[in-house]
Structure 1
Amino acid sequence: MHQHATPATGGSPARDQSLSQWQAITRQAIAATREAGAGAALDGYERALSIARQLVAAPPPGHAEDCVAALVVSCHNLADLHLDHGDTDTAARYLCRAHETLIALMVDTDRSASLRQAALHHSRQTHLALISHVASHGPHPLVTRVLRAGCLALNVDGPARH
């Protein structure tokens, strides 16, 4: 299993406590994986994802990039964990969830420009993770649907170009 790095949060004492909590739980889950195997880390990774969702819903000022990264890392860590157990279907769901969330953030004009920009930046990673999943494990209907929906969402207002 290849755990994903946690987002850089700097050393600011004003940093939101939830981001610190997410980071600590993620590190504990990674350590649990190394010491006791992937099964021991499941609860930690799920708690980290729950915190990451809250962070993306209301990112602390100046930390949109870190919050979006936390969500992507959490989903990808859970996908890796399920892949290690041979559960490609659940892994695909976590990868899709990450990509769908980022696409929704990118097109939501009620969200801050920094959060939308962070979602765009990280959507490249989630898009590649979906392509890689298909290349390694074969086609998956949910992955196909999410990739198509993402392309449509990003091209809906633009004219077709050749």
Structure 2
Amino acid sequence: MNPSFSASATIDQPTIGGLRAWERVMRRGVDAARGGQLLLAEGLYLQALGLAQPLLDAGCAECADDRIAAFVVTHLNLSDLHRDAERTEDAVAHLCVAHCRLMALLRDPQAEPALQQAACRHSRETHAALVAHLGEHGGHPAILAALRAGCMPFPPPGVTLH
């Protein structure tokens, strides 16, 4: 089936299907954004976020790195879309939510070790996005708070101190 990206296209309701469903919706969102259909792209990205968030829950059988990547990529795409539309507060919110969620996973003693390791790896991307935003737009209280959330007093999972 060839999806339509016109402004009148309907957005699929979220379905169970893990990463494959997320990827399908994200591809449609990226295509819509590239085609200048920003409202459709935003709706698809939000739908993808709805599919990505449950992937972070315990017991998900999908690869930990892919689960974290889906969550981070969705937030970064939403942030970029909002930044381009000059919706700075929305852009900042997505950057901060993504980074702070990864930091929370790192601090969660109940989180799967593989998910924590993936969160540690992908936190570089969210950290870089926060710093880039600071460089472009100057200080923002939410960005500064999110960066402080990344200042952990203990080593990330899998790192041993000698």
Q: Same-fold call, TM > 0.5?
A: yes
Are residues 1:81 and 2:78 paired?
no
Aligned residue runs from structure 1 range 6-155, under 5 A: 17-58=17-58, 60-61=60-61, 63-151=63-151, 154-155=152-153
> Once the 2 structures are TM-superposed, how far is the Cα of residue 155 of structure 1 from its aligned partner?
1.4
CA distance in 2, matches of 1:102, 1:21: 22
Q: Can you list the C-alpha shifts for 1:6-35, whole angstroms capped at 9, x where unaligned? A: xxxxxxxxxx92110000000000111122
Q: Which runs of 5+ in 1 are unaligned?
A: 1-15, 158-162
**How has the CA–CA distance of structure 1 residues 21 and 59 changed in structure 2, closer, same or farther, with 3 Å as cutoff?**
farther
Name segments (4+ residues, structure 1) moved above 6 Å: none
Count of residue correspondences: 140
| Cα deviation, residue 59, structure 1 | 5.7
Percent of aligned pairs with the same residue? 39
Instruction: Provide the C-alpha distance between the structure 2 equivalents of 1:139 and 1:23, rounded to a whole number of angstroms.
Output: 34
For residue 115 of structure 1, what is the amino acid of its counterpart?
L
RMSD: 1.6
TM-score, L = length of structure 2 = 0.81
